[in-house]
Structure formats: C-alpha cells, structure tokens
Amino acid sequence: MTFRVGPRTNQIIAYTALLIMTVITIFVLFFIIGFILKNGLGQVSLKFLTERTTDMGKAGGIFPSILGTLFVTLLAIIIAAPIGVGSAVYLVEYTKAGFVRRIISFGADCLNGVPSIIFGLFGFIFFVITLNFGWSVLSGGLTLAVMILPTIIRTSEEAIKTVPRAYREISYSLGGGKLDTILKVVLPTALPGILTGVILGIGRAIGETAAVIFTAGSSLGLPTSIFSSTRTLAVHFYILAREGISMPKAYATATVLIIIILLINFIAYRLVHRFIARYY
Amino acid sequence: MIIETAKLNLYYGKFQALKNINLQIKRNLITGIIGPSGCGKSTLLRVFNRMNDLIENVRITGSVFFDKEDIYSPLYDIIMLRKRIGMVFQRPNAFPLSVFDNIAYGPRVWGMNDKMVLNEIVERSLTAVDLFNDLKDRLKTSALALSAEKQQRLCIARLLAVEPEVLLMDEPCSALDPIATGKIEELMQELKKRYTIIIVTHNMQQAARIADEVGFMLLGELIEFDSAKKIFTNPRDKRTFDYISGRFG
Ligand SMILES: Nc1ncnc2c1ncn2[C@@H]1O[C@H](COP(=O)(O)OP(=O)(O)OP(=O)(O)O)[C@@H](O)[C@H]1O
Ligand SMILES: [Mg+2]
C-alpha cells in the first residue's frame, strides 16, 4: 500500500514547512541581535562613543575605532564604487555578450567566494610591504576595495542588464549617443540595483575583520591621515574578546557595530524606496 | 517625395528580410505599411532611421534617400537623421522619469539646458498631443503612472520635442483599447498637417481609416504600393486582394 496525500494536504504541509523555516531564520537573527544588544546596550553611552580608548581597551571609549572604521570604509567605497560601476557599464554596454564577458563574470564570482583572510594576506604583501603603505587607513581601504569590488561589479552588471532594451532604443531614436543613453537612461534606471550592490559592499567592509587586521593594523591612536595605522570596530571587538581584555567593552563595541550596520541598511532601504516611489 | 528607396535589400545574417524594395513616401501624408506578421514591416521602418544599425550582422544593399540624400552613404550624420526622423514604438515606453524629464530628454540630449526654453518645449509638445491641460500640474510626477494611452501620447510628445520631420510609428495602437486607438488616430490626423507619418499596422481597418497611401508587404517584398483607396477597393495584385479580403495573415 502506498502512502498518498491529497494536493490540499500537500499544500498545507509545504506551507507549514516553509513557515517554520522562515520563523527559524527570523528567530536566529533576532536572537543574535537581541543577545548582543542585551549584553552591550547598557555600556554604550555618549562618553563611550566619544572618548579615546585607554588601557588597551579595558577603559575609555571607542572613538578612534569609530573614526578608523569610517575612514577605511569610506575610502574603500570611494575607490570601489566608481571602478565597479564603470566596469559593469563597460562589460554590459561595450563588450559583446560572449566568452570574455563570461570569463570576467566567472572571475568576479570566484573572487566573491574567496575567504577574506586571503584578501588580507594579499593586501599585506602588496599594499603594506611592496607598495610600502605600511599598516594604514590607505592599505586597509585599498584591500577592502579589492574585496568588495566583485560584489559591486556583479550587482551593477545585473542591474544594468535589466534595463529594458526599449529604453536604449528610444534614446537612440531621439538622437541620443551612447554616452547620453548610458548616463541619462541606463544608469538612472539601474540606480536602485546599483545602490543595493554598493550597500552590500559597505556592509561587508564595515564588518570585516580578517582583511583589515593585516592591512590597517590595530593601533589605538586617532587616525590623522590616510597613512595612520588604525583599528576598526570589528578588529577592536575581535581583539577585546580574543585576548580577554574586557567582555563588557567587547559587547558594547559589537552593539555599536550592529547599530551602525542596521542604520546604514535602513537609510539605504529608505533611499532606494524613495527613488523607486518617485519614478516607478 | 521625402523618402525614397531604390533596390533596397536587407539581410539578418544569411536571412534576407527585405527584397528589392522600391518605394516613395510623399511629404505630409500618412503612409500605411500593412502585411502579415514577419513580412518585414518593422524592419523596413527601422531602415529609415537606421535603427537596424544597432543590431549585429545586419547588411543592407541598395539606397535610401531622405530629402534627396543617401542616408547610408558613409559620411551621413546618423544622429541628425534620427532627430529628423523620429520613431514611436509599439509599446508605450515612457522612461522611469517624471513627465517633464521624459519630454525634455531629447532637447537635453541636443544640448538645450535653458529651463525657460525647456518649459516652453514641454508645454508645446504636450499641447500638440492634447495632454497639457491634463498634466500641467503633474509634470513632476512619474510618467509610468499614466494610462497606456496617455503614455503613448507622452511618447509622441517626447518625440515632437526634438522637432522631427517624419514620424515612424510601429503599430502604435496595438497595446491600446479601441477607444484609445480612436483618439490616437485623431491625433495622427492632426499631426499629419505638420509631419510626414509612416505607420506600420496589423489592422487593415486602421490603415483604411487613416492612411493616404498604403504599401502591402509579403515575405520581405513590397507587393503593391498605391493610394489607400485603390489598395482597399481595387488592388492590382491578387495577393493584395487575398490579404485585404482576409484570406491569409
Ligand atoms: N534581429 C533579427 N535577427 C534575425 N532575424 C530577424 C531579426 N529581426 C527580425 N527578423 C526576422 O525578419 C523578418 C521580418 O521581421 P519584422 O520584425 O520586420 O516583421 P514584421 O512584419 O514587423 O512582423 P510583426 O507584424 O510580427 O511585427 C522575420 O522573419 C523576423 O523573424
Ligand atoms: Mg513588427
């Protein structure tokens, strides 16, 4: 005798299974965030955010690390976003679909899967040693730029590809050149998708530890130039926890990191939606 | 005579889509191109503003004259050609921009950035398609929010904004309902006073209603070209007769 269920029962089972998985995912997410916030939120104060770090991190605040994170990430985005979007435009608009484009896309996908410590090692050997930038904001930013570049290229590429062919044809039919078409039609239409890629990149850069600890260093001094060594929030958290310096401070740092990431995602989400609501 | 083709052949790779087309389009008339699906109507239309250049592996022989000049001669200014011969596409495709930016797109591409002049152009173009009163308070809102008919009008306005001489229309009403179609046809009658219109249509009634002259195409050939009256009442070729009496297509 075979076991059979009706299509309706099937539906119910599938629905329930999917629901459970969703609930688990959301639960895990909220559990992690909740756990960190519960342990960390109590220590976060204006003083903690604005004071210099003292006694290896046992005391004081995390101001240098906030600045360091900001600088390194900003530098990475300033470098990676234009290059990434530019490459995507070049790939989609100026090369024929075919072997070369597939190779490049494949390469970008592979790079996306490379563990970040490898990028850290590369950055250390190339930027820190060979180019002699030392442990610095510059080395860290460049390394992160290399690391997030594939994400930005691939998401931008997909976004640009989804711009309807008709839009391009209309632009040409009105006498638009290739550059007009790209700048005034293709990029604005693809902007939400491109922004999504850039935000993913920012998220990855901010939370990154392995790639920056080798390249930006772990100095607790205030970063004053792009050649200063600095310690990002993620690295600071890692060192505090790993070396058992201060768990409360570690949680507090993690809390700040999480809040920043949530904030960026929220702002970006609002931006993209405002853009979409305006014109779509 | 504004457009004239001589021994025009077009190949997509090995496939010949247009075969020895000789036709003459007169100024300030509506010329209809009819024929069954796949006979090459759109291809022919896209020859006139060189849109086929955007497709790979297209090869053209013969000549196409616009205002007595061969538009396929190597030194011909394609960008200028596309300004003078504009195109309305099958589906009303407004850009995901505001109404204003849609219409100002062409003029801006042509280097016009003076806000006052752009305002004027937008007003004039929208008025020409009978949309201005409707939209004058909504110029900053998304064009995609408009109905299909209004979007198609907007697309025509966007085209008029660059002051073309010829309007190529590739089944401009096929995405519209009969009432909207009727309104667009009225608009075309109005536009005919100032522009030369070439319209591709599947719809023979439409061709009969609005076209002055009609060309019938079949399998890449221009079978017959004559006044609409002649084509629809007393065609010379048996294949034309079969088509207009609904035997095929
Ligand atoms: N880019 C292309 N590459 C290869 N063949 C094409 C291409 N575009 C069109 N064709 C072929 O050329 C022929 C004519 O196509 P065209 O689009 O001009 O026909 P049409 O008369 O406009 O048809 P419809 O009424 O369906 O729009 C068709 O057989 C079509 O398959
Ligand atoms: Mg067609």
Mean pLDDT (chain A, rounded): 90
Q: How many CB atoms lie within 10 A of CB B232?
A: 19
Interval B26-39: pLDDT, tens: 999 999 999 999 99
Global pTM?
A: 0.81
B185 belongs to a structural domain:
yes
Homologous superfamily of domain range A46-279: MetI-like (1.10.3720.10)
Q: What is the Cα Rg of chain B in Å?
A: 18
Q: What is the mean pLDDT of chain B?
A: 92
Q: Give, in degrees to the nearest 5, the angle at Cα A139 between A133 and A143.
A: 145
Strands (E), chain B: 3-12, 15-25, 30-34, 58-66, 69-70, 85-88, 166-170, 196-200, 213-218, 221-227
**pLDDT on residue A73:** 95
Domain ranges, ordered by start, for chain A: 7-43, 46-279
- Tokens 């691939």 sit on residue: A154
Give the integer Cα–Cα distance in Å for A212 and A70.
13
Q: What is the number of the ligand 1 atom nearest to the C-alpha of B40? A: 18
Q: Which of B54, B93, B162 sits opposite A172 (nearest CB)?
A: B54
Give the C-alpha separation, B139 to B118, whole Å: 12
> What is the tens place of the pLDDT at every residue in A186-239?
998 898 889 888 988 998 899 999 999 999 999 999 999 999 999 999 999 999
Does residue B249 lie within any of the structural domains? no
Domain assignment present for residue B130? The answer is yes
What ligand has the least distance to the C-alpha of B36? Answer: 1
| Nearest alpha carbon, ligand 1 atom 9 | B43
- Please check whether residue B22 is in contact with residue B6, taking contact to mean a CB–CB distance below 8 angstroms: yes
Distance from CA of B248 to the nearest CA of A (A): 30
Q: Which residue of B has its CA nearest to A186?
A: B95
Residue B190 lies in a domain: yes
Residue range(s) defining the domain that contains residue B190: 3-244
Residues B53-78: pLDDT tens digits? 888 899 999 999 999 999 999 999 99
State how many domains chain B has: 1
Q: Higher-confidence residue: A277 or A155? A: A155
In a domain, B119, yes or no: yes
- Where is pLDDT greater, at A253 or A100? A253
Pairing of β B58-66 and β B213-218: unpaired
| pLDDT per residue as tens digits for the range A162-191 | 999 899 999 999 988 899 999 989 998 898
Query: For the domain that residue B151 is a member of, what is the CATH number?
Result: 3.40.50.300
Q: What percent of chain B has pLDDT over 70?
A: 99
Phi, psi of B140 (to 5 degrees): -95, -5
**Number of other residues whose CB lies within 10 A of the CB of residue B141:** 15
Complex confidence, ipTM: 0.89
Q: Give the per-residue pLDDT at B31.
A: 96
Angle of helix A137-161 relative to helix A99-113, nearest 10 degrees, comes to 130
Q: What's residue B249's pLDDT?
A: 47
Tokens of B16: 């010949």
